[in-house]
Amino acid sequence: MAGLRGGVAAVNITPPVGSYLQGYTRGKPSIGIHLDLYAKAIVFDDGDTKAALVTTDLIGLERTHVALMREEIARWTDIPPENVMICASHSHGGPTVQGLGWDEWGWLWGNPPDMDYARELAKKVGGLVAMADRNLRPVAVGFGLGDAGFNINRRRTLPEGTIVAPNPEGPCDHRVKVLKLLDLAQYETVGPDRPAPDPKAVLFQFTCHPTIMAMENLEVSPDFPGVAQTFIEEAWHGGPTSGTGLPDGPGALALFAQGCCGNIRPNLANEDGSRFRPGTKQDAHRLGRILGAEVVKICEETEVAAGAGPIRVATSSVSLDYTELPERSVLEELAAHGVDTHSGHLDTEGRPFGDAMWARHILSKLDKGPLPSAIEVELQAMRIGDLTIVGLPGEVFMEIGAQIEASIEGPSLILGYANGNHGYYCTQASYEVGGYEPAFSWMLYTHPAQFDPANEQRLVVAGRDVACRVWSDA
């Protein structure tokens, strides 16, 4: 079996102060920088096939923006575009990058995107992967598991009907998954009386909305995943600015990969645990350090062995249906008289987003032609030796990811916000209860109608199928 080489790199993608933040639409520009944002990459090579995994401290990306990044990567490397997975942490403290005007269905209603930043971001990601590709070295790898208990299911029905509240009885994934990479040459020269070499890279997954720095925050921030990454890197004196540059590359890099956190958030509750409270910077640092310390612990306890292939990558396109599309007369009535607003979101003129603004957007689409009855999304799977990575393009409920994972033997990472972010993918049962994710969020993503509840099964089948394909030659 072929040996495995790995290369890592990082690039700063912090936007300028004054950029509008995305996630919560505050109606105001940013006023400062809490912590820098980064894009990071690992390139894997088994001698026959190369694949790249990119992580970003961003809320998500449009599918067309992912295509631009893949084009830039192909421009500077020999990695096929279809062998690149680009993930977002889903931080709500990053710049407006969705709804860039290139996609038919994007986040078009709120903050103005910075097109210059978007173009530079695509070029930076291309150069990032090129740096990682030039830093390829034989690696030893290991996979470890731990847990962090600060996440919680956020869907509980209160007496007045509200369905956003801490639900300790609801499904939640507290696991922390870690892929550890060491430089093989350093690992093989270490004797029993010498400490193990520092990791080359640490890829870790946790399932939790990065929403500690909430709507009141006006500072650029990667939220708790950024704090955790810095904590891990500092444990080995690494990080994006450490090391001596190519060909040695940076010191130890930590890369955060978000799980299926559509219905999972930080457990920051009031004193009686009945409702969520706003988070603070102190909370972001406290919980980020808790997660980072758990990752370091897992790394120290995880055995490694010489990495081996094969590398396999597969993609699949799945059609996710909408329910009944609205009639023009209904849209015109809402555009003229709609009063319902959603989640406190504002546009840049301070106007609340709601039914009327959504209806005006959909009418503008209808004027150009029939509304689509479905949306096509990309699912992707990577096999790196014994590890399976499945990327899902949106805010996937935890139970959907768990169903896909249950079909996979061996270690796996089931990731959300991969290769795009097209909205919430909810369980069929959640539509019967209602609440923000199934009942309202599709308007915030400016879809023409609610998603079909049967999309849960479509995603599970497609996710299992694409994961199976990277093992079909085993």
More confident residue, 144 or 357: 144
pLDDT at 123: 96
Tokens of 343: 């989640």
CA distance 84 to 422: 19
pLDDT of amino acid 188: 81
Q: CA–CA separation, 257 vs 410, rounded Å? A: 18
Asked which of 27-31, 74-78, 193-197 is least confident by mean pLDDT, the reply is 193-197
Average pLDDT estimate for 421-433? 95
Mean pLDDT of the 103-112 span: 53
DSSP 3-state of 441: helix
Of 39, 158, 42, the closest CA to residue 91 belongs to 39
Predicted local distance difference test score (pLDDT) of residue 1 = 47
- What is the distance between the alpha carbons of residues 331 and 334, in angstroms, rounded to a whole number? 5
Lowest mean pLDDT, pick from 98-102, 163-167, 456-460: 98-102
Q: Tokens representing 229?
A: 């990454």
Neighbours of 17 (CB within 10 A): 13
Q: Which letter does DSSP use for residue 257 in this model?
A: E
Look at residue 106 in the predicted model and tell me its pLDDT: 43
Return the higher-pLDDT residue of 118 and 318: 318
Mean pLDDT is lowest, of 224-228, 244-248, 291-295, 414-418, for: 244-248
Alpha helices in 275-319 (DSSP H): 281-301
pLDDT in tens, 226-285: 999 999 999 999 999 876 655 566 789 999 999 999 999 999 999 998 899 989 999 999
pLDDT attached to residue 105: 41
Pick from 114, 11, 2: which is nearest to 57 by CA?
11
Q: How far is CA 29 from CA 97, 161, 296, 354, 404, in A?
A: 14, 33, 36, 21, 39
- Using pLDDT thresholds of 50, 70 and 90, give the confidence band for residue 103: low
pLDDT cut 90: percent of the chain above it? 74
33-50: pLDDT as tens digits:
999 999 999 999 999 999
Alpha carbons 38 and 227: distance in angstroms, whole number: 12
Q: Which residues of 148-178 are buried (b: 16+ CB within 10 A; e: fewer)?
A: bebbbbbbbeeeeeebbbbbeeeebbeebbb
180-209 average pLDDT score: 87
pLDDT tier at 109 (50, 70, 90 boundaries)?
A: low
Question: Taking a C-beta distance cutoff of 8 angstroms, is the pair 455, 395 a contact?
Answer: no
Q: What is the DSSP string of 372-431?
A: PSEEEEEEEEEEETTEEEEE-SSEE-HHHHHHHHTT--S-EEEESSBS----EE--HHHH
What is the Cα–Cα distance from 417 to 453, expressed in whole angstroms?
A: 20
Per-chain mean pLDDT for the chain: 91
Work out the pLDDT band at 192, boundaries 50, 70, 90: low
Question: Residue 410 half-sphere exposure, CB side, CA atoms within 13 Å?
Answer: 14
* pLDDT tens track for 117-157: 888 999 999 999 999 999 999 999 999 999 999 999 999 98
Reported as a single tens digit per residue, the pLDDT across 322-351 is: 999 999 999 999 999 877 777 777 766 777
Please tell me the least confidently modeled range out of 182-196, 207-221, 278-292, 390-404. 182-196
Q: How far does Cα 365 stand from its chain's mean position?
A: 28
What distance in Å separates the CA atoms of residue 402 and residue 277, rounded to the nearest whole number? 28
| Rounded mean pLDDT, 398-418 | 97
374: how many CB neighbours lie within 10 A of its CB? 14
The C-alpha atoms of residue 151 and residue 166 are separated, in whole angstroms, by 10
The pTM score is 0.95
Q: What is the pLDDT of residues 363-383, one digit of tens each?
A: 988 999 999 999 999 999 999
Long-range contacts of the stretch 243-251 (C-beta < 8 A, 24+): 246/131, 246/134, 246/135, 247/134, 247/135, 248/135, 249/7, 249/8, 249/9, 249/131, 249/135, 249/200, 250/8, 250/9, 250/10, 251/198
Q: Which residue has the tokens 């010489």?
A: 306
Which is nearest to 206 in space by CA: 266, 283, 270? 266
Does the structure show a pLDDT above 50 at 102?
A: no
